[in-house]
A and B are shown apart, each in its own frame.
Chain A
Amino acid sequence: MSKVLVEIDWTGLALAGGCVAATLVIALIERLRMGREVAIGGIRAFAQLMLAGYAVGWLLGRDYWWANLLAVAVMILVATLVVLGRLRRGAFPGMASAVLLSVCAGALPVLAYAMIAVVRPRPLHAARYLIPIGSMVISRAMNSTVLVMDRLVSDLRRQRGRVEAALALGASARRAAEPFVRAAYRAGMLPTINTLYAVGLVHLPGMMTGQIIGGVEAWQAAKYQIVIMYLLLASAVLCAFAATRAVVASLLAGHRLHV
């Protein structure tokens, strides 16, 4: 396999931008009223990725341990804000700390395990590994938190009578919420589990394709991808564990439904 990476120059980037322009044209012709979203999305993606590319480049060049950890902390903070924005309509008391807890629970133990036990780079905080693996794990924790909390909060609100029927018979908060907690776990984990089934057959995921394009041997890229898939599974379940407990503790504090 050739190890020479074909670099994308500015002309190539501009031509890729043609895809956004084509989308805009179709949106206008079909009167989809999506032009604004497409344009803003295209510009945001460009700006955010250029910035990320610059930041990661800076981190890779220096590899200060504090800067790498700070980058992870910033990603967790941004992920928390994104989740809070998406859950705005289903807000509940103590939501901000519950979301932060859930994202951290889904991301930090898995990331630490990956760096210390699985990948074992030297140094352990090496940005080349910490930042990409961290971003994938944090991103999964973010999505799982949204799915789990959204499902559980809306179920508890919709099924108030069912929850109170169980509470009235002497069920603890956790026991009364049990069927809905189970459904929330499924909602949070199914996308990850489905990917485990389809990966390699239907699509080659981003990290693997990235490594292949970057010149890494395909079987090595496959091993990395397997590691990532397993890490993401653990991230999803840890997230669901923390998120369901946080929601039940908040919405069923004192074994009473606060909705």
Chain B
Amino acid sequence: MPLLAVKALGCRRAGGASVKGVSFEVDAGEVFALMGPSGSGKTTVLRTIVGFEEASEGQVLLENRDVSEMAVTELRRNVAFVAQEPVMLDGTVADNVSYTFELRGERPAEGQVESLLARAGLPAEFATRPAEELSSGERQRVAIARALANRPKVLLLDEPTSALDPETAERVLEGIRQLAKEDGIAVVLVTHKPQEASRIAQRGLALDSGRVAAAGDLTSLAASDEPFLRRFFAEDAGGDREGESNE
């Protein structure tokens, strides 16, 4: 049984890319790549899964349970969504991570904030830094740390490396791979760079104008003769495109 199953999901989104008939499944501990060029609807799929957009059709199942029957707050604690440009809350990095605990009426135990930061790839010294002063890459990791404080089963990451230099991006990807492997989290990685996806995911799907263009093993997708896939993989190999924002 897959941890997350998305079945024929559709969303008509005013002011953003609409999607139709999107289906995929992700197992515990797996990184699944949701790929596509800018404006293809990748972000819309993630936003619809966590209920930021209303699904016009289809179903999302978490451990075989229809998420529309769950309380939205429960859904979002189990399925964490980290936006492409995460917004920091007021205060320090520790305040940001503690906020997740506060929402559940709890307080972090001694050293728990630092341990979450470490899992997101940040040293303990970051805890006392003002969150507003962080770089894009650091914000991404703080956003992952505060999402992990909910002990989510699924992590939806929207272009987590889009604002990072190649070296930092590599470290973040490795961190994501470890989170999936060691904590058994199902990760959906949205990216417009198939080469990057191939480094940590085996399976994925490519979206084109809101529809699934191809899905399956990433190696076979890369080798496909299908014109859209050839163009998509060739563009990534030829140089980075601009990151997708608020599709």
Contact = CB atoms under 8 A, between A and B. Distances in A.
Co-complex (A, B): yes
Interface of A: 159, 161-162, 164-172, 175, 179, 254-257
Given A164-B83, A165-B143, A167-B52, 4 more contacts: A165-B83, A165-B89, A166-B99, A168-B81
B68 to A, nearest CB: 11
Contacts of B85: 161
Interface stretch (B31-39, B71-79, B182-190): B71-79
Given A169-B103, A170-B150, A256 B54 contact: yes
25 contacts: A159-B87, A161-B83, A164-B87, A165-B86, A166-B103, A167-B52, A168-B50, A168-B83, A169-B77, A169-B80, A169-B100, A169-B146, A169-B150, A170-B76, A170-B77, A170-B103, A171-B73, A175-B103, A254-B72, A255-B72, A255-B73, A256-B51, A256-B52, A256-B72, A257-B52
Most-contacted residue by chain B among A162, A170, A254 (CB, 10 A): A170
A221 to B, nearest CB: 46
A172 B73 contact: yes
A170 B52 contact: no
B97 to A, nearest CB: 10
B73 A162 contact: no
Contacts of A161: 83, 85-87
Given A175-B103, A255-B51, A256-B51, A168 B76 contact: yes
Contacts of B73: 170-172, 255
Contacts of B240: none
A171 B150 CA distance: 11
A168 B76 CA distance: 6
Contacts of A162: 87, 89
B144 to A, nearest CB: 12
Given A175-B103, A254-B51, A255-B72, A169 B147 contact: yes
Nearest to A171: B103
Interface in B173-228: none
Contacts of A257: 52
Nearest to B100: A169
Contacts of B90: 179
Contacts of A254: 51, 54, 72
A245 to B, nearest CB: 18
Contacts of B72: 254-256
Given A161-B85, A255-B72, A255-B73, A168 B54 contact: no
A256 B52 CA distance: 5
A168 B83 CA distance: 9
Contact of B80 (A168, A172, A179): A168
Nearest to A172: B73
B99 A169 contact: yes
A159 B87 CA distance: 9
A226 to B, nearest CB: 38
